[in-house]
A and B are shown apart, each in its own frame.
Chain A
Amino acid sequence: MLAYFIRRLLINIPLLVGITIIVFVLASLMPGDAVLAMISSDTPVTDDMIKMRQGELGLDLPLHEQYLRWMGNIIQGNLGYSFVSAESVSKMIVSRIPATLELMGVSLSISIILGLTLGTISALKQYSWMDYGFTVFGFIGISIPDFFLGMVLVFVFALKLKWFPTSGFITAGEEFSLADNLRHVFLPALALALVRTAVFMRYTRASVLEVLGNDYVRTARAKGLLQNVIILRHVMRNALIPVITIIGVNLGVLFAGSVIIETIFQWPGIGMMFINAVTGRDSPVIMGYVLLTSMIVLASNLLTDLAYSLVDPRIRYE
């Protein structure tokens, strides 16, 4: 088992190298120029000044040399420095990742709890008005883009009802308090959660329905067990197995999806850092971000496999 996971980790290394090449090429192909992006159009500049700055940043070297320099630094744990602020990219990531993880965590918890519960109810009450209601909700949830939902939530719950703050991590000028922070995280987390709630709900419904038709559920009923025991122990345990894959896939999507939501809600996470970097053509930061995202996707795949083996005793990795 352990050997399997170590092997899986090692397989991910060449995958990551491949990703770095693609990321690097894409970042270099990006229209616009870091040096030009720094310059205000009001200040007169000469071509020499631009060339000098490019030289400082190493942008005048051939592409493959730039790549090797970048990779060489990464191996030493150095993701480079921002062209704009000259801050270390790894430090920028480390200081911003907790906010993003908090947003992801809250949003994922909401969607797992809601999605699994509603999906199970939907399946148990198949073809009832509740089932139809949840199905309609599911279609709406899957169809609404999260940035639009985010704006609607701000308009309704922050601007009109004033239940939640419009944006930010904590109330400006106040000491950090968890309650205040949770009030701030709620709306963006909800905006991110809706799509996934709908997706998890639909998959759970299908999966529970399939499991309900199995012989072992009839056996459980024939034993005279309580309905709750049948559902939780016999049905859910089996129905969760395919749902876990969907949750695993969504970890990566959620991380990437937070970019827009973080911008809308001014959430000081890694997504906002990325948007700022793109506007500033700050390629070290962009590449650092994309590399991190790839690693998170690979890690969530590995986690999914691990979760599988915990839920299903038949799965033993050799």
Chain B
Amino acid sequence: MTRLLEVKDLKVRFRSDRTIIHAVNGISYSLDEGGSLAVVGESGSGKSVGMLAIMGLIPNPPGWVESGQALFKGRDLLKASEGELRLIRGKEIAMVFQDPMTSLNPVLPIGLQLTEAIQTHLGLDKNQARERAIEMLRMVGLPNPAQRIKDFPFQFSGGQRQRVMIAMALTCTPSLLIADEPTTALDVTIQAQIVELVRDLQKQLGMAIIWISHNLGLVAGVVDTVLVMYSGFIVEQAPVDDLYEHPRHPYTLGLLHAVPKLDTENQERLASIDGMPPDLRKPIVGCPFAPRCPYRQEKCDQQTPPLFEVGPQHQSACWRWQELSKISTFGEPL
């Protein structure tokens, strides 16, 4: 397989009230053509910002890319000019955002919002673009696309709007789709439909996908590789099954432990990880997870752990990854 995207040591900073927020702190990962990757982490872990950065969509001011490389088909996106990026955005890399209620322009008919990208990138005329838009809407399962193309976003339900957003992202058949929590704002049943839809479309169109989510359960069935982020660091990266079965980082363990299960006999209180994520206004010394980690040692406070190779394609940033194989639940003594 050919490498589609390779991100190396990406660092993103924001300025806020004379302090600097360390939002993304040197993340590296890669994605093959047609591959799928999930970036999992809690709010503020830098998962969305890391993706917006490679698309050049970080508003500056207040944010900027401090360092790093993002090679897309061999080209460094972080060094590309705005004009070059414009030709890549929407055509090569498309994005579906979290909230379909606010991500569509409320005063423009959806047809126009679809065709403008088609006309910009594919050079089709108005009628051809309209045909293409209808075809895309049909593909994402929107009923009566030819009539509904004239409607405004407020005339659609949340799930329908997200379908429109997906159609919009896929109009130019991008080689990479970044789905930034596309189901968070939707009902659970609709969530499943949208996940299913994106997965089918990925197979159909053969594109690669990066799925940003805070829901480990949701991404389990849709991706090959999972990347766990915590306070701007990648703490663990592994093929999906391996990660669920043999987590090698206490944070991943804690996250898996916090997923509610329907099949447990005794309805126990849902486990949570005590404490709060670190303050990103200060540079992090040592392991970012150390203050909340039950397995903390002196070394953890002083040295930031590198990503250790802990198995085939499996990496963990924990000093005690070897010992962690002995336990299966978070908090269990080593």
Contacts and interface: CB of A to CB of B under 8 A. Distances in A.
A233 interface: yes
B87 A224 contact: yes
A233 to B, nearest CB: 7
Contacts of B142: none
Contacts, number: 79
A221 interface: yes
B153 to A, nearest CB: 9
Mostly helix, strand, loop or mixed at chain A's interface?
helix
Interface stretch (A35-43, A135-143, A309-317): A309-317
Nearest to B168: A223
Contacts of A314: 106-107, 152, 154
A214 B102 contact: yes
A214 B97 CA distance: 12
B104 interface: yes
B96 to A, nearest CB: 9
Given A215-B97, A218-B57, A226 B104 contact: no
Interface residues of A, number: 22
A222 B95 contact: yes
Mostly helix, strand, loop or mixed at chain B's interface?
mixed
A260 B104 CA distance: 47
A141 to B, nearest CB: 28
Contact of B97 (A219, A233, A311): A219
A215 B152 contact: no
B86 interface: yes
B282 to A, nearest CB: 26
A226 B90 CA distance: 12
B21 to A, nearest CB: 17
Interface in A280-318: 311-314
A216 B107 CA distance: 11
A216 B103 contact: yes
Contact of A313 (B91, B104, B152): B152
A250 interface: no
A26 to B, nearest CB: 43
Instruction: Please tell me the size bucket of the interface on B.
Output: 20 to 34
A225 interface: yes
Nearest to B93: A222
Given A222-B89, A222-B94, A313-B152, A216 B55 contact: no
Nearest to A214: B102
Contacts of B109: 313
A224 B120 contact: yes
Interface in B89-119: 89-91, 94-95, 97, 99, 102-109, 116-117
B88 interface: yes
B159 to A, nearest CB: 17
A224 B80 CA distance: 14
Given A223-B117, A224-B120, A237 B99 contact: no
Nearest to A237: B107
Interface string B139-177: 000000000000010100000000001001000000000
Interface of B: 55, 57, 85-91, 94-95, 97, 99, 102-109, 116-117, 120-121, 152, 154, 165, 168
16 contacts: A219-B104, A222-B57, A222-B95, A224-B88, A224-B117, A224-B121, A225-B86, A225-B90, A225-B120, A226-B86, A226-B120, A229-B120, A234-B108, A237-B105, A312-B107, A313-B109
Ranked nearest first, the 4 interchain pairs of A and B with the lowest CB-CB distance are: A224-B90, A224-B89, A223-B90, A215-B102
